[in-house]
Amino acid sequence: MPDIASIGKIIENDVQLVYEVISGNVKTLLYNLQVRDPAKITTENENLVVTKCNIFDKEDLKPHVEKADVVMSCLGFALAWSEPVPFYREVATNISDVMKEFGKRRVIFMHSWYTNRDDWKKAGFIMRNVFLRLVIGQVLAGMKLSEEYLQTTDHLDYTCVLPAGLTNEPVTDKLISTCDTESQVPGCPSRICRADVARYMLDVIDDETSFKKIRAIGVDGPQQ
């Protein structure tokens, strides 16, 4: 039963990871949620420890990473318009450096479909030219820089999980399809619930076939 350190802010994705642990869907010994304002997390459970952490400060990260068997990040940052969002790589570098110091290897990041710009041509016209290009393009570019950095490391068993567009529906038992050669999953719907993403991230903690992979995920179903 692994100790999990989730590095992030208080957003829906972190909450889903917490829910999957404390609901009994995942057996784990301890779940640490490092957040900027612990008072905003009101859930109490013996499997949940909430602490405040500055994700940009390596010294602040150290005590949390030292106690963890696996580190997860569901971080999201504000949109940018003129250059790639730098914080994804900055946080990945900080986590990597601290994990190396303590001999920790397993880390899982949540990014998004289409971090590889070459795959944009597979999206629909409006998705490609409005949403990807004008709205979240620089967020995706920042995630890509983080992925490229992780690929240069030799001390991490990383997985970057790239889900389709996120929704807030309850967890399902649908089969989750994956793709390691594209930053989207051909034939899968363009939406997936956060709870299923959390389910997948927790399921692959010990799956060595997911180590050192940039892996897109989607649920089986009709294309949307």
Residue 108, pLDDT score: 95
DSSP 172: -
Contact 5, 32 (CB under 8 A): yes
Please enumerate in sequence order all residues whose Cβ is within 8 A of that of 73, keeping only pairs 6 or more positions apart, or say none. 6, 7, 8, 91, 92, 95, 107, 108, 109, 110
Residue 36, pLDDT score: 56
Amino acid at 196: D
Residue 20, pLDDT score: 60
Q: How far apart are CA 55 and CA 60, in angstroms?
A: 7
Contact 145, 180 (CB under 8 A): no
Contact 148, 214 (CB under 8 A): no
Residue with tokens 């899968």, as numbered in its chain: 188
- Which residue numbers in the chain have pLDDT < 70? 1, 7-43, 45, 47, 221-224
Residue 21, pLDDT score: 57
